[in-house]
Structure formats: structure tokens, C-alpha cells
Amino acid sequence: YLWSQRGWQAIQHCLGGVDEISKLLHLQVNGMIGTAFLHQGHAHRERYNGNYNSARFKKAMERVDRHMSRRKRFLSAVMFKADALDQQLSRFEKKITTLERLSIGHVLTVHPTLEGEAVHTLPIQARRRVEVRIRQEERNIIKGNRKDAGSLHNAFLVCDNLDCHLALARVDPAARRLSAPTSQLYFLLANSLRTTEIHFKPVDILNARDIRRASKSLAEAYTATTAARRDKATDLIPPHAQPGEGFELRVVERSSLVALNRISPLGILLASQPRFNARQMLAIAVSLVEGCHRFLGTPWLNHLDSSNVRGEQDPDSKAWTVMLAAAPGNRNVTQALAQFSSQASNRRRDLGQHTQLYRLGIVLAELALGSLVTYADASSDPRAPGVSVVMRDYAPGERLDAGDFAGAVEDVAGETYASFVEFCLNTLQDRRMIQQRDFMQEYEDRLLDPARAVKDLIDQAE
């Protein structure tokens, strides 16, 4: 016999789990396919019965692709389902790994003389990781999200007497989970009369009557939205928007940002209370990394500073809602970054993403070390170009680089967190990275994927 009776029973039990998850995966894949049929327009809407037909699916996708609003709703729904599918795939992979371990372990128990190559493992060992190819779809959503966010920032710039906070990462109070990376945006807006959380949803505004009714400024749209009935939405056409592009605004009934606005910014908390513990640091870092991914390259991240960041942990999901105020940050840091960027622009290089990632690195380092950056220095020396900083309480008076921070942070928050800080700060300190034009792919590999892995570990630990 290959296995003992006890070993065979354990393997059978594991196979039952594999079969159960396989059926769930089948249902979820069908659900993703059915999403295309539900979003092809009212005239053609139908439910998918599970009988896959490539011609019908292609036709449904063509109808979805004809309208931007349908396409965005479809992509948003697919990404929501893909998140659940990804979790099931992780469970499936763990079951396969367990099955492999059981098969080898019980073979060696019954046949202890077998070693190494003599043990023939399951054929699935050669390829046990099943991956869903949705990364490109996610990139398309993020690309559209950045374009929409940039359009709204233009509207904010020409708006007087309106304070604005952007939700980088938001825990849905109803679902108790971090919102999926969709093209929908949440802002906390405030004027002299009220403070309200508003949901911005990209829509097509094509009808001439709707265009006339739509607000043309953010302040006007905010006033109209807060004055309207709670079940009514208003429209906004931002300045310089492309024809037909606009936003639908609704007041968020169960707001998570209004309460967050009463909490002190991260910079004040770091100066006035005990340091966050390692798990809290990692959870906040994950929310910052995931949130900044959606807005990298947009003007919103030019405001990224610990004095503008507010965060609060949801008691149920343990995830952190993180909000960014559109306000000036550390003046010295801003001036140093602007000075170094202007030197680069003279050499026809755009350091927009570099400076935003550097800002993220500073916030992460401050969070881990419990100390604030007080001074930044931009070096124009061609032999050692870059931006270095001085911290108030950590090695005061010394100019610190990415390596200094990484070593200090690793002792406090671990290797993964330290790698986040080192990567971000090297964007304006490492000669090769300063020359680099785009960080979208590297952001995914060096920040986003490790952050999601950390989030899974935190969830499992809970």
C-alpha cells in the first residue's frame, strides 16, 4: 500500500475540501461571466444560466464597451467579484499544499526507506498556483480612477471657501470591509455651514437638458447636493472635462469620514501619544500603500504629509480608514522637493511620481519611528544628487538617507515595512531610480503585492 489507512482517510478529507472549493470557484467564475450579461443595457439585460457561449459573451461585452458608464459599472462589479475569487483561490492553494504535504508525509511514514527522487509527488506539484489574470483589468480601472481624480482636483483648485479631504482607504460602514479599488471616489467637503461626506461617481452626461442642469463648479455642486433630498443625486461637470464626462454626487448616509475628521492628524498623534504597536503600523501602512496606488501621479498626493493624514481603525474588520486633507504640509519638505524637481525639469525630467513616493516614504518612516521630519535638503551635487531629511527626535541634526531609515525601521516594524520605506525614499536618493520615468509596475511589485500579503497575514492572525 502507498499510504496507511489513517493517511488515506486524511487525504480523502483533504480532497473533499478541494472539491468543495472547486465548486465555489466554478460558481464565482460563472458569476463574473454573468456580470457582462447584467450590464449590457436595459434592452438586452439577461441572466446567465451557466451554459457558456463564447459568441453570446462576446456580444454582451461589445454592448458593455459601447458606453463608458456601463463599462465602469461592469469593471467595478468584476473587481468586487474578483476580490472574493482571489480569496477562494488562496484557500484552494492552501488545500493543494496540504494535500501535497499529506501525500508525501504518509508515504514516508509507511515506506521510511524512500528518499528524495524516489518519492513521486502529485502531478499538480509542478503547477499548484492558480492565478486569475485580472491585473490588467485592475490597471485599467486604476488608470481611469487617476484621470477622474485629476479632474476633480482641477475643480477643487478653482473653488473658494471649501475644505476638501480625500478618502485614500475607506472601510464601508455597511459591509465592514475596505472598499474595492473601483473608480468611485469619496470626499469629505466642508464650507462655513456644514461638513458632509460625498460620494462621487463618474457618469456620462450627454443629454442637453442634463448638461444645462449640471453644476459647473465644485462649490455649486456641493451646495446643491447637500440641499437636495437624501435619495436624490446631483451632477457636476468639472472645468476642462471632456465632452460627456461628469460626476454624480450623493450624500453618504452612513459616513465614516465625518467622525474621522474629529481625530487629530497623524503628525499630532505621533508627537503627543505613545508609538503605535507593530501590528497597527503595518495595518496603517497597508491602507496607505493601497490608497496611494489609486492616486499615484495625481495632484492629490502632493498634499501627502503626516499633518494632513487622519486614520482610524474599524473595530470589526481591523482595517484602517485613511483620509488625506488637501492642505499645505511641511513647508520645508515641500520647498526641498520643489527645488529638486525644478533642477530635474531643466534636464527635461518629470519627478512627479518620485516626489509623491518620497512623501509616502517620509510618512511611513515617521509612523514607525514616532518622530517627525523637521528639515529636508535638496542636493544639486551631480556626484550625489538627492533629497535627505533631518528628524526631530531620531538622530537630531544628522541628514538621513534611505539606508539609515530602513535600518532603524526594520528594528521597530520588521523587514517588509523597512523595504517599503527604503523603496520610497530611494526614488529621490538612488541615481538609477531618479533617472526612472515611471513607477507603476515597480509600485505593484515592491509595495502593493507585499502590502496585500501582509494584509492577509493580519486577517489570519485576527
* Residue 382 bridge partners (DSSP): none
Q: Which residue has the higher pLDDT, 148 or 1?
A: 148
Asked if residue 435 and residue 362 are part of one domain, the reply reads yes
Q: For residues 36 and 74, give the distance between their C-alpha atoms in angstroms, rounded to a whole number.
A: 7
Q: What is the pLDDT of residue 124?
A: 42
* Cα 364 from Cα 361, distance rounded (Å): 5
CB burial string 328-365: b at 16+ within 10 A, e below: ebbeebbebbeebbeebeeeeeebebbbbbbbbbbbbb
The range of the structural domain enclosing residue 215 comes to 138-260
Contacts of 371 (CB under 8 A, 6+ apart): 270, 391, 392, 393, 394
On whether both 23 and 119 belong to a single domain, the answer is yes
The residues, any chain, with a CB within 8 Å of residue 305's CB and separated by 6 or more, are 267, 329, 330, 333, 359, 362, 363
Place of cell 450627454: 206
Q: Which residue has the cell 531618479?
A: 434
378 and 299 in a common domain: yes
On whether both 365 and 219 belong to a single domain, the answer is no
CATH code for position 376: 1.10.510
The domain boundary, picked from 260, 294, 326, lies at 260
Residue 223 has pLDDT above 90, yes or no: yes
Q: Are residue 329 and residue 452 in the same domain, yes or no? A: yes
Same domain, 425 and 315: yes
Residue 317 is predicted with a pLDDT of: 66
Q: Does residue 254 sit in the same domain as residue 282?
A: no
Claim to verify: residue 154 and residue 100 sit in the same structural domain? no
Q: Does residue 240 come out as left (phi exceeding 0), alpha (psi in the -120 to 50 range) or beta?
A: left
Q: How far apart are CA 362 and CA 365, in angstroms?
A: 5
Q: Are residues 302 and 410 in the same domain?
A: yes
Q: pLDDT confidence of 135, banded at 50, 70, 90?
A: low
Residue 21 has what pLDDT? 85
DSSP for 79-111?
A: HHHHHHHHHHHHHHHHHHHHHHHHHHHHHHHH-
Number of domains making up the chain:
3
The predicted pLDDT at position 131 comes to 42
Sign of the dihedral defined by the CA atoms of residues 297, 303, 307, 310, in that order: negative
Residues 35-76 pLDDT 10s:
777 766 555 555 566 666 677 778 878 887 777 777 777 777
User: Does the pLDDT at position 424 exceed 90?
Assistant: yes
Is 154 found in the same domain as 120? no
Cell 509527488 belongs to which residue?
121
On whether both 294 and 440 belong to a single domain, the answer is: yes
Q: In the listed set 108, 132, 156, which residue is the last one of a domain according to the structure? A: 132
pLDDT greater than 60 at residue 462:
no
Which pTM was predicted?
A: 0.71
The domain boundary, picked from 84, 101, 132, lies at 132
Flag the least confident range among 38-42, 57-61, 226-230, 374-378: 38-42
Q: Are residues 126 and 177 in the same domain?
A: no
Going 263 to 268 to 274 to 277, the CA torsion angle's sign is positive
Taking 90 as the threshold, does the pLDDT of residue 308 lie above it? yes
